[in-house]
């Protein structure tokens, strides 16, 4: 039976159930939890994550992928605690987000990939808790020189471990195309890659291009994190258009709505919480019913939230 690394140990993939592919329990910045821990409301963040995950669990969500990397202040013991208390399976990430450490910006991708491989094979920060996914991020302006180093490091860690990659992109600039070009040049099997944040665009030509290349596509920003990108209904209409074009088996969903976030001004984060009181139940409560209204069947919805995440982690074709 295929297994995946969760923060509580190896788990049979058949136990994943309803899975959200891109979430965060707590995001801060690298190093703060060790040097200035009083800056982080850790107890409150833990309680908030427990409350949110208990609520999600009641509504049938059983697994989340927490894509918080070291440069987002990943706190692996906090993630482990929350999973243990709530019983929600959590898959943790290695890799790097946009705040690439200065020491990595001129490093050899091979040296960075060894660090990722260690987090996947041996564990994170000496805990023995193994990463189950690799995260990379490129945003507005596309892949920078340092971003390319990280992509190549991720590609090599993927090839060495078979663990999949989930990316952060800026879809309005078709940044997924650039990521794919680099993964291809490294010989990564694109079936092991999910191009994330793809629902920040309605460009079906771009999205279909990613799918035709063989990558998975993440509709993993819900409801909508800023006013200049499609709202949640338009996102869902785009999702349905791809489903109607025959791609239901290659699409996955999530919110990317952090439960506690210290990298935005307090007022901005408070506003975000106010805008989405459903938090990580938004998809369950609004997107899936709207998809049904648009004509999606229960079988199709099951593919999006149960079967596809499992196939993605299993590396099934």
Which residues form the interface with Zn ion (CB under 5 A)?
256
Smallest distance from the beta carbon of 257 to Zn ion, in angstroms?
Answer: 9
Smallest distance from the beta carbon of 292 to Zn ion, in angstroms?
Answer: 27
Smallest distance from the beta carbon of 246 to Zn ion, in angstroms?
Answer: 28
Closest CA to 20 of 304, 314, 317: 304
Identify which of residues 72 and 155 has a Cβ nearer to Zn ion in the complex. 72
Structure tokens, 228: 């200049």
Smallest distance from the beta carbon of 51 to Zn ion, in angstroms?
Answer: 20
Identify which of residues 200 and 256 has a Cβ nearer to Zn ion in the complex. 256
Smallest distance from the beta carbon of 282 to Zn ion, in angstroms?
Answer: 15
* Pair 256, 287: CB distance under 8 Å: no
* Pairing mode of beta strands 3-6, 9-12: antiparallel
Identify which of residues 20 and 288 has a Cβ nearer to Zn ion in the complex. 20
Identify which of residues 169 and 236 has a Cβ nearer to Zn ion in the complex. 169
3-state secondary structure of 143: coil
How far is Cα of residue 87 from the mean position of the Cα atoms in its chain? Answer: 20
Smallest distance from the beta carbon of 62 to Zn ion, in angstroms?
Answer: 20
Identify which of residues 119 and 257 has a Cβ nearer to Zn ion in the complex. 257
User: Which residue in the shown chain puts its C-beta closest to Zn ion?
Assistant: 256
Place of tokens 């490091």: 153
Q: Put the strands of the sheet holding 251-253 in their side by side order.
A: 18-23, 61-66, 89-95, 133-137, 165-168, 193-195, 216-219, 251-253
* Pair 67, 93: CB distance under 8 Å: yes
Identify which of residues 150 and 296 has a Cβ nearer to Zn ion in the complex. 150
Q: Which residues contact 65 (CB under 8 A, 6 or more apart)?
A: 19, 20, 21, 22, 23, 90, 91, 93, 132, 133, 166, 254, 309
Identify which of residues 71 and 256 has a Cβ nearer to Zn ion in the complex. 256
Dihedral, 199, 203, 208, 214 alpha carbons, nearest 10 = -50
Smallest distance from the beta carbon of 72 to Zn ion, in angstroms?
Answer: 8
Q: From residue 21, give the alpha-carbon distance in Å to each of 35, 144, 168, 181.
A: 30, 25, 12, 23
Residue 276 to residue 256: CA distance in whole angstroms: 12
């Amino acid at each position: 039976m295929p297994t995946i690394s969760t923060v509580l140990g190896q788990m049979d993939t058949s136990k994943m159930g309803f899975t959200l592919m891109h979430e965060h329990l707590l995001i801060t910045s690298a190093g703060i939890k060790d040097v200035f821990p009083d800056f982080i409301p850790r107890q409150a963040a833990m309680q908030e994550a427990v409350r949110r995950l208990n609520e999600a669990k009641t509504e049938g969500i059983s697994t989340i992928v927490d894509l918080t990397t070291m440069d987002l202040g990943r706190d692996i013991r906090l993630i482990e605690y929350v999973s243990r208390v709530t019983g929600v399976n959590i898959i943790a990430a290695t890799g790097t987000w946009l705040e690439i450490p200065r020491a990595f910006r001129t490093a050899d991708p091979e040296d960075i990939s060894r660090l990722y491989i260690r987090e996947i094979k041996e564990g994170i920060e000496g805990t023995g808790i193994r990463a189950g996914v690799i995260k990379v991020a490129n945003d507005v302006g596309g892949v920078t020189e340092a971003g390319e180093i990280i992509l190549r490091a991720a590609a090599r860690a993927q090839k060495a471990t078979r663990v999949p990659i989930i990316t952060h992109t800026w879809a309005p600039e078709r940044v997924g195309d650039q990521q794919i070009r680099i993964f291809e040049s490294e010989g990564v099997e694109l079936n092991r890659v999910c191009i994330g944040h793809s629902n920040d665009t309605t460009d079906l030509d771009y999205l279909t291009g990613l799918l035709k290349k063989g990558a998975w596509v993440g509709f993993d920003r819900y409801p909508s994190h800023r006013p200049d990108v499609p709202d949640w209904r338009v996102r869902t209409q785009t999702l349905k258009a791809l489903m109607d074009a025959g791609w239901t088996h290659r699409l996955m969903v999530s919110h990317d709505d952090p439960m506690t976030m210290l990298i935005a001004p307090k007022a901005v984060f408070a506003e975000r919480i106010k805008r989405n009181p459903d938090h990580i139940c938004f998809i369950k409560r609004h997107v899936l019913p709207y998809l049904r209204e648009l004509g999606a069947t229960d079988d199709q919805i099951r593919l999006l939230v149960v079967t596809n995440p499992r196939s993605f982690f299993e590396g099934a074709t």
